[in-house]
Structure 1
Amino acid sequence: MNKQELIKLIESIETPEEKVESFFRDYRDYRIDSRRIAMKHLVSTWGHLPLLKITKHMYQ
């Protein structure tokens, strides 16, 4: 390996901080999506119109 290949290899390795940040970013996106699905299911199952009016602006 020459020097440039080593530099590229070192730059391509993720640091632990980057792994943690990407994990929490993915987890946050998953939680937001699952909350929307759960709320839509709750509203459609119960047919609760006041709840739909309250949460409609939150999950659009």
Structure 2
Amino acid sequence: MQLEKAILATITTNAKKVTAGSSIFICETKEEMEKVAANLEAILDGISHALSDELYIIVKH
């Protein structure tokens, strides 16, 4: 099975911005969030997108 289009992970500093649906990573600082997003992008072979200053998603196109 190969995923073609999906949200693989959500990374945030504000837990109120997300609900269930993908793996959620809650960080304490913006710097930590950016580092986690960059690592997950490489690990999951996806693309990181910043939706706001408090929210990133990793997607597979």
**What is the TM-score normalised by the length of structure 2?**
0.29
More strand by share: 2
More helix by share: 1
> In terms of Rg, which structure is larger?
1
**What is the TM-score normalised by the length of structure 1?**
0.30
